[in-house]
């Protein structure tokens, strides 16, 4: 049996959410204790809560939603790359210094931001891509780029990736995962016309 690493962030009311994004609530709708036949809960959250993918519409007005993203891109071989030494946002030069695996189409960046999940609330002290970093990945044939906090990059990086057909996978928990080769299974909720979609992401060691 292959060991699975669940790299998704648990959905809960007190979880980290990006500045100005909707908070998460889980409330009882009906309960057996109050005479109902079954317990049914109501969930409210933003589509960029926790582990999620961005749709092109997130930064490109009028573009396609998350339903346009290819499942083939979100399932397959992936490389977790150790970028914990980076102290600033990742531009093209910084990515070149990481020596990304040749030909890798799915890259998950493990940065010092992983430790931010240990804090009680959202922090802006995270590592992200710059526009030149996004273009570097596109030029090297990357189809999916993931990162271990709630934003893949600045506005320029988002536009470059989404316009270039690259899936941006955000909000990963890579604290218990070593750098190396894995098989990624990332399945976003099937939302139509949405700028983002929460996802369950799992790694299997190859």
**14 found inside a domain:** no
**125 found inside a domain:** yes
**62 found inside a domain:** yes
pLDDT at 170: 98
**117 found inside a domain:** yes
Q: Which residue has the tokens 């589509």?
A: 47
Chain segment 84-124, per-residue pLDDT in tens: 999 999 999 999 999 999 999 999 999 999 999 999 999 99
**19 found inside a domain:** no
The count of C-alpha atoms lying within 13 angstroms of the C-alpha of 105, restricted to the half-sphere facing its C-beta, is 10
**184 found inside a domain:** yes
Task: Kindly report the pTM of this predicted structure.
Answer: 0.97
Chain segment 13-60, per-residue pLDDT in tens: 999 999 999 999 999 999 999 999 999 999 999 999 999 999 999 999
Q: How many domains does the chain have?
A: 1
**16 found inside a domain:** no
Range of the domain at 160: 4-8+46-205
- The residues annotated with a catalytic role in the active site are 58
**CA distance linking residue 143 with residue 136, whole number of Å:** 12
**Residue 1: pLDDT over 80:** no
Query: Which CATH number is 58's domain given?
Result: 3.50.30.50
DSSP annotation string for 114-175:
GGGGGSSS--S----B-HHHHHHHHHTT--EEEESSS-SB-HHHHHHHHHTT-EEEE----T
**107 found inside a domain:** yes
């Amino acid at each position: 049996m292959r060991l699975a690493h669940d790299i998704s962030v648990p959905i809960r009311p007190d979880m980290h959410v990006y500045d100005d994004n909707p908070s998460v609530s889980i409330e009882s709708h009906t309960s057996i204790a109050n005479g109902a036949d079954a317990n049914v809960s109501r969930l409210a959250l933003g589509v960029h809560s926790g582990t999620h993918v961005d749709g092109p519409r997130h930064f490109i007005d009028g573009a396609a939603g998350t339903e346009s993203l290819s499942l083939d891109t979100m399932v397959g071989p992936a490389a977790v790359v150790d970028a914990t030494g980076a102290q600033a946002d990742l531009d093209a030069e910084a990515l070149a210094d990481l020596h990304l695996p040749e030909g890798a189409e799915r890259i998950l960046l493990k940065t010092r931001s992983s430790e931010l999940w240990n804090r009680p609330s959202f922090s802006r002290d995270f590592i992200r891509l710059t526009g030149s970093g996004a273009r570097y990945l596109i030029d090297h044939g990357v189809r999916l780029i993931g990162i271990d906090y709630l934003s893949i990059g600045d506005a320029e990086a988002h536009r470059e990736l989404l316009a270039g057909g690259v899936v941006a996978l955000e909000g990963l928990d890579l604290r218990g995962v070593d750098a190396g080769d894995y098989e990624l299974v990332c399945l976003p909720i099937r939302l139509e016309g949405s700028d983002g979609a929460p996802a369950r992401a799992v790694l299997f060691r190859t």
